[in-house]
Amino acid sequence: MSAETDARQREVAAMFDRHGPGYRWWAVLTVMLGTVSAIMEATVVNVALPEIIRVFHLGHDQVQLLSTGFLAATTASMLLATWAMQRFGVRRTFTGALALLVTFSVLAALADRFEVLALCRIGQGSIAGLIQPLSMLVIIDVFPPQERGRAMGAYGLGIVLSPAVGPVAGGLLVDHFGWRSVFLVTVPLCLAAIALAPRYVIAARPLAGAHKRPFDAVGLVLVIGALCALLGGLAALIRQPLAGAAAVGLGMALATGFVLWERSTLHPLLDFRIFREAGFGAAILVALAYGTGIYGSTYLAPVFAQIGLGFSGYEAGLMLLPGGAVLAIVLLQAGKLADRFPSNRVAMAGLACFALSAILMGLSSTATGFWLLALWVVIGRIGLGLIIPGLNAGALRLLPYGTEAAGSASINFFRQLGGALGVTLLALFLEGRERQLNAVHGLQPMQEGFFLIAFVYCLALIPAWRMTGRKQRAQSV
């Protein structure tokens, strides 16, 4: 046991002495408030996009920056979480991140220019990427291994429900108080977590003179540059095709440089050596497709409901709520399925369900009733409930013991990357089709957008089928 781990365990024991056996659940509540805030920020803005489009006179290729900027920043900052915890300690990093999240949220609500609003969303995303790994570390510290399943279940339930409840709350706020109010929906949760953290989150300050893992600054600069150039270039392709193409080329070059650097450095942000394990590369492709579909559909569904079908912001959010509740129920059982049946088959069933849901959404029109649309969303969420444990459990089983943390980080990174790329490409497709059809926010481009998502998930069935390999073995890579 390292000195750092031993010090954390002594601090946890002192917390139990001070607060009693109920301390661990207060710790879960505290970190869950922070994580729910971070996750809700990713999707709650989507119900306000039609109003933001109208107010700032934007196209889909422009307004999507509010989603992709957030996701790209989250993707990069997730790689910083371990360094931040070692440098500042768990409690300082957690409370500091939440304070910055509140600051960016308030600034976003006050923004009078779209450029300022987009920068605030990037700031929110960079903080969200730090908060989620911190929460998992706290739960691991305060629960013994035999009780972590219950804790993860309670924690996961809140995480799953937050994207479902967020759009409903956001829709109500947009309808009654305007688009600015949607950026304030998580502020009370953040403030509550900040108030509870000094009492229930361990400080875990870095030990004086302790060895610190070197930080891969070159890798971080390369990945940030690649994400900015690639996503910015894709967004600019319609209005500035030459500049956009040049930026995409630069992004691809930087991404190649990032991979080469990470494979050669001693302390990489992402360990690409594990990609040699049989089946793990296929799992990464499934994670990319999963991120593309879930974030792409979460971006498209509220816009489709409001602009295409004439729903209010509240109705658009409410349409997603039953699906979130069903997803929580499915997740409680899907883990057992992933243990009982081959994980890749469970993931494939989920991919097929989600593809079917996207096709049904694409076939919907103004004649489709509210509850039928909600049912199509439910089918998709059943699919997600099968994909999540099938992908996570299946991918990690392919890796040697001792490399699971690196594998989990890779799955999370590429899932977020798929989300950022998916929303960008979907918005680019919508804008291009609207210009081609000479229709301002017409129904047909959005329907075709759902068909595109279904196509991506059907393609993902191929790597999911190949997501098999040797049984997990003891030696590391």
Q: Distance between CA atoms of 443 and 305, rounded to whole angstroms?
A: 10
Last residue of a domain, one of 231, 247, 266: 266
3-state secondary structure of 279: coil
- pLDDT tops 50 at residue 472: no
- Domain residue limits at 231: 216-266
The closest alpha carbon to 104, from 59, 63, 73, 133, belongs to 73
Same-domain check for residues 234 and 194: no
Same-domain check for residues 143 and 252: no
Same-domain check for residues 220 and 127: no
Q: Distance between CA atoms of 285 and 110, rounded to whole angstroms?
A: 39
Q: Distance between CA atoms of 211 and 199, rounded to whole angstroms?
A: 28
- Is 211 part of any domain? no
Same-domain check for residues 85 and 10: yes
178 near 171, Cβ under 8 Å? no
**pLDDT band, very low/low/confident/very high, at 7 (cuts 50, 70, 90):** low
Q: Tell me the percentage of the chain whose pLDDT exceeds 70.
A: 89
128 near 45, Cβ under 8 Å? no
| pLDDT given for residue 474 in this prediction | 46
Same-domain check for residues 222 and 127: no
209 near 248, Cβ under 8 Å? no
Q: Distance between CA atoms of 244 and 432, rounded to whole angstroms?
A: 14
**pLDDT band, very low/low/confident/very high, at 212 (cuts 50, 70, 90):** low
Same-domain check for residues 154 and 233: no
Same-domain check for residues 89 and 169: yes
- pLDDT tops 60 at residue 352: yes
For the chain, what is the mean pLDDT? 84
- Is 471 part of any domain? yes
- Is 210 part of any domain? no
Q: What does the pLDDT look like over 306-317, one tens digit per residue?
A: 888 888 888 888
- pLDDT tops 90 at residue 456: yes
Q: What does the pLDDT look like over 428-441, one tens digit per residue?
A: 888 888 888 776 55
In the DSSP assignment, the letter for residue 22 is T
- Is 159 part of any domain? yes
Q: What does the pLDDT look like over 359-387, one tens digit per residue?
A: 999 999 888 888 999 999 999 999 988 88
Same-domain check for residues 321 and 423: yes
| C-beta atoms surrounding 7 within 10 Å | 17
- Is 301 part of any domain? yes
| pLDDT given for residue 130 in this prediction | 86
Same-domain check for residues 255 and 310: no
Residues with Cβ < 8 Å from 197, sequence gap 6 or more? Answer: 30, 34, 91, 94, 95, 98
Q: Tell me the percentage of the chain whose pLDDT exceeds 90.
A: 27
Last residue of a domain, one of 159, 174, 205: 205
**pLDDT band, very low/low/confident/very high, at 182 (cuts 50, 70, 90):** very high
Same-domain check for residues 359 and 415: yes
Same-domain check for residues 95 and 198: yes
Q: Distance between CA atoms of 98 and 310, rounded to whole angstroms?
A: 36
Q: Distance between CA atoms of 82 and 472, rounded to whole angstroms?
A: 25
The tally of domains found in the chain comes to 3
Same-domain check for residues 5 and 44: yes
* Domain containing residue 427: CATH number: 1.20.1250.20
Last residue of a domain, one of 205, 224, 239: 205
The closest alpha carbon to 377, from 430, 327, 436, 308, belongs to 327
